[in-house]
Amino acid sequence: MFTGAMTAMVTPFSNREVDEARLRNNVSFQIDHGISGLVPCGTTGESPTLSHDEHRRVVAQVVEAANGRVPVIAGAGSNSTAEALELTQHAKSVGAAATLQVNPYYNKPTQEGLYRHFATIADAVDLPMVLYNIPGRSVVELSPETIERLAAHPNIVATKEATGSMDVASQVIASTDLTVLSGDDSLTLPLMSIGARGVISVFANIAPKWVTAMTDAALAGDFVSAREQHLSMFPLCKAMFLETNPIPVKTAMKLLGADSGEMRLPMCEMSEANTSILRDALRDGKLL
């Protein structure tokens, strides 16, 4: 259902408030540069430090600004099933095309608990769901067997694969009809080579044309061009993770004049040494 290059959007701030004008500008920038979908209020969007009202407002603003030109997959995950359900209901009410549901973090549910969490939301709200398997953030990992159980639900249509394991991705692709999307920019092409259908990308915040060119080539079966694009992007993709996401991407956007660079604690400014490395990478990539 969702393929190609989709952007894990940053949430812009100004004087500690969400900068809605810049948020809407970012939506237009992404769509004008060929992106296939928008994903607000995920990890890159600093969802843990948004209030519930801010979270709902950001999703509504992105849906409104996109105006049906591309699908909006609203981040709606939580470690509380009731909270995730409420955010999912809101996403549906404002016209989001789907939700992104992260593994419940911190409380470390069992595989049965994970299954019941996602199935409860999928049962309650008739809206497509993208699972988000990222054990590096959530501590728990959805096993391929649990993903296979969840894939039987008609509202669960895709999974964002961020385990770093080609084996996990291969098993999911082999055993389900889910659309697999990369959750790691540097692994998008390897994952697409085994059947993934695109990426939810941090890097696309600054270079949507690059990411789109690579995913379009791979989807067309032109892996020679896709590989060339991947290798040209790779140094900057790695620079996007010199520190915890979204610190580098927001720093890059500030250097490019596309964001204030403001973050909310406990996220803080990038170190001077890493900022220098990032600046050099942007120059080498001819973005700065």
Amino acid at 93: S
Going by pLDDT thresholds of 50, 70 and 90, the confidence category of residue 151 is: very high
CB burial of residue 16 (10 Å; 0-12, 13-18, 19+): exposed
CA atoms of 97 and 254, how far apart (whole Å): 30
Q: What is the pLDDT of residue 57?
A: 98
Domain boundaries, the chain: 4-222
Structure tokens at 170: 């291969």
Q: Which helix (H) or strand (E) holds 237?
A: helix 223-239
CA atoms of 26 and 32, how far apart (whole Å): 10
Over range 93-117, report the average pLDDT.
98
Contact 140, 103 (CB under 8 A): yes
Q: What is the pLDDT of residue 30?
A: 98
Could you write out the DSSP letters of every residue in 250-287?
Answer: HHHHHHTTS------TT--PPPHHHHHHHHHHHHHTT-
Percent of the chain with pLDDT over 90: 100
Going by pLDDT thresholds of 50, 70 and 90, the confidence category of residue 129 is: very high
| Neighbouring-strand partners of residue 201 | 7
CA atoms of 133 and 150, how far apart (whole Å): 13
Q: What is the pLDDT of residue 10?
A: 98
Q: Which helix (H) or strand (E) holds 219?
A: helix 208-219
User: In the CATH scheme, what is the code of domain 4-222?
Assistant: 3.20.20.70
Question: Quick one: which of 149, 150, 194 has its CA closest to 168?
Answer: 194
Percent of the chain with pLDDT over 70: 100
CA atoms of 185 and 227, how far apart (whole Å): 13
Over range 126-142, report the average pLDDT.
97
CA atoms of 256 and 238, how far apart (whole Å): 18
Is the pLDDT assigned to residue 1 strictly greater than 90?
no
pTM (2 decimals)? Answer: 0.97
Active-site positions read 132, 160
| pLDDT tens-digit map of 204-261 | 999 999 999 999 999 999 999 999 999 999 999 999 999 999 999 999 999 999 999 9
Q: What is the pLDDT of residue 27?
A: 98
Going by pLDDT thresholds of 50, 70 and 90, the confidence category of residue 188 is: very high
Contact 101, 150 (CB under 8 A): no
| Cα Rg, the chain, nearest whole Å | 18
Over range 103-122, report the average pLDDT.
98
Helices (H), 95-207: 111-124, 135-138, 144-150, 166-175, 188-193
CA atoms of 219 and 232, how far apart (whole Å): 18
Half-sphere exposure for 55 (CA within 13 Å, toward CB): 25
Question: Quick one: which of 5, 7, 10, 4 has its CA closest to 251?
Answer: 10
Going by pLDDT thresholds of 50, 70 and 90, the confidence category of residue 276 is: very high
CA atoms of 206 and 223, how far apart (whole Å): 23
What is the average pLDDT value for the chain, to the nearest integer?
97
CA atoms of 217 and 241, how far apart (whole Å): 25
